[in-house]
Chains A and B, each alone.
Chain A
């Protein structure tokens, strides 16, 4: 009887010990995982959240000013387009999806140019200028292509990947921000919204986004600021 109780106690203790060991092991594993996932943390969902805020970070805010040089050597400032709806598009010669949407931009520029709409393509390339000129010729766009100064992308939230587009209203405020390739229809809808929004109710559109609690609720927006 006593032996039985002892055996049960021992078994219980043994079991507990085994569980503790397993737990310890799990924790050890966890610990070894952390440096990696710390790195990954910056990468993965947290970071896709990290890179997601650019989606909204500038919306409702004044578009950061810039003065850049075009491929033909002219200086162009965003402020030159005050009072006009402007699509500021970041791209690079090595970015295949960028080159996919650029001809669409060109088409919409022809279509909506009479309403003041303009596109500024900022090339985030470290390729020599001749390469960029060659690429632009091949892509066949005629809107101004500006060479990066290395400061414009950080001002626009880092532009960690391409393409990224900022739809700047007549009031100089970023109305829409998009990252990655969207469909042609979406691009056109954004352009229409940009042109219309600035015409009819500029303050309302901006106020609506700024006051939207969801914008504040983004966990990433909180963790990064």
Chain B
């Protein structure tokens, strides 16, 4: 009987809880097939034939951080952008921002080098006149204040118009 009540209560609770969760919905949070970084794929217009720095805006989910491009330990997985050149459009080495120091609360002496909030990668692009699509990936590894999530690869596509 007590068990039956518990199950009924649980069902009631889950009914009440699910819509609440659906409403809260943000992209971050510990979950299964998820990303901890969002990419704002703004279409960019650049002068044709002239090397231009294209700014790529990334947003790390609230409460999370990812290693910077140059973490302090070689074992940590750096944030790495891979964009391939295509017909009529070539890219050079991206410029990464500097990381911010971060340490887990139980060991304030161990400083990591991370990105959190929004960060910006600058990518030198040279394109011939016309419409192009740059595609690539951002590989990163995210943690929150107590746990780390397996490395992820975020697919990236940037529409570029050169004129």
Contacts and interface: CB of A to CB of B under 8 A. Distances in A.
B25 interface: yes
A100 B109 CA distance: 11
Interface in A22-73: 33-34, 36-51
A98 interface: yes
Given A95-B148, A96-B110, A135 B75 contact: yes
A181 interface: yes
Contact of A216 (B10, B106, B147): B10
Interface string A209-225: 00001001111111100
A216 B7 contact: yes
Nearest to A96: B112
B1 interface: no
A10 to B, nearest CB: 36
B99 to A, nearest CB: 13
A20 interface: no
Nearest to A179: B147
Contacts, number: 153
Interface in B14-33: 14, 16-18, 20-33
Interface stretch (A77-85, A156-164, A166-174, A197-205): A156-164
B31 A51 contact: yes
Interface residues of B, number: 45
Contacts of A37: 22-26
Chain A residues touching B, majority SS: helix
A34 B22 contact: yes
A94 interface: yes
Contact of A45 (B10, B11, B24): B24
Contacts of A33: 25
Given A43-B27, A51-B31, A216-B7, A223 B14 contact: yes
A41 B21 CA distance: 6
Contacts of B119: none
Contacts of A138: 75
Given A40-B25, A44-B26, A213 B2 contact: yes
Interface string B142-163: 0110111111000000000000
A93 interface: yes
A131 interface: yes
Interface string B18-58: 10111111111111111000000000000000000000000
B77 interface: yes
Contact of A161 (B10, B106, B147): B147
B141 interface: yes
Contact of A96 (B3, B7, B76): B76
Interface in A146-199: 158, 160-163, 179-184
Interface of B: 2-3, 6-7, 9-11, 13-14, 16-18, 20-34, 73, 75-77, 104, 106-107, 110, 112, 141, 143-144, 146-151
